[in-house]
Amino acid sequence: MTNKVALVTGGARGIGFGIALRLARDGFDVALSGRRSVEETQAAVAPIREHCPSALYVQADVADGRARARLLLAIEEHFGRLDVLVNNAGIAPRARADILEAREEHFDEVMTTNLKGPYFLTQAAAAWMIRQRESLGTSHRAIVNIGSVSATVTSINRGEYCLSKAGVAMATRLWAARLAEFGIGVYEVRPGIIESEMTEGVRGKYDALIETGLLIEKRWGTAADVASAVSVLARGELPYATGAVIAVDGGLTQQRL
């Protein structure tokens, strides 16, 4: 295999699908993972295979350590290498609840999937990337965490999600500092209000807020918007910037008078 290989977790739907499709179009061999079975994702993966016939889907929950190990082993057996990891898989709380009433089991579930899973997948993937340097050289490798404006913007009815994304922001900085000596860039792409399954239930709320000036760019973001930023980072087109946070939020987090 001569193409670089990218793994996109949660890559068969939503933002993850947009990222995987863009990377396939850009010439990467793409591996995707998710909770659904191979059979359930065949239709979703088909457009990616139009650009990357060897695309691999692996059923793997990033919250499960054994599943993470199986995922990387499957990629090694199928492609023999890994150059880019996109930690995209994430969940919202089972129920939006005021932080005075939120349930501990929902907190644990969100934190395990959104923070612990990507943290230790990064650990394992980075170790593999470091080993690859002996056989594949020191070409650009990258780890991209898909964060959220919720890392800094409070939502008191989904505190566990906000905390998980704040943790992802710090994890990005930690891994950037640790992996720089090995030539592995680590970045965070921080989306704002993006059209996806996760935001379907609050469509009316955000339509109204956008209309009344919440954003500088008065539209919903798309998976393609996020994918464009990830592509730049995956291809090494933003050098000398490890640890960078790229906001894809239509100006939501800009302070304005």
Residue-level pLDDT at 9: 98
Q: What is the pLDDT of residues 28-87, one digit of tens each?
A: 999 999 999 999 999 999 999 999 999 999 999 999 999 999 999 999 999 999 999 999
Contact assessment for residue 114 and residue 168, using Cβ atoms and an 8 Å cutoff: yes
Known catalytic residues are 161
128: left (phi over 0), alpha (psi -120 to 50) or beta: alpha
| pTM of the predicted structure, to 2 decimals | 0.96
Indicate the average pLDDT of the chain: 96
- Segment 88-146, tens digit of pLDDT: 999 999 999 999 999 999 999 999 999 999 999 999 999 999 999 988 888 899 999 99
pLDDT in tens, 199-251: 777 888 999 999 999 999 999 999 999 999 999 999 999 999 999 999 999 99
pLDDT for the residue 226:
98
pLDDT surpassing 80 at residue 198: no
Per-residue model confidence (pLDDT) at position 201: 76
Let me know if 109 is exposed, middle or buried by CB neighbors in 10 A (0-12, 13-18, 19+).
middle
The residues near 206 (Cβ < 8 Å, ≥ 6 apart) are 193, 199, 214, 220
Tokens of 63: 């919250």
pLDDT of residue 199: 78
Gap between the Cα atoms of 177 and 211, Å rounded = 40
The encoded tokens of residue 164 equal 């998980």
- Phi, psi (degrees; rounded to nearest 5) at 233: -70, -40
Domains of the chain: 5-248 (3.40.50.720)
Q: Does residue 19 have a pLDDT over 80?
A: yes
| Average pLDDT over every residue of 180-207 | 91
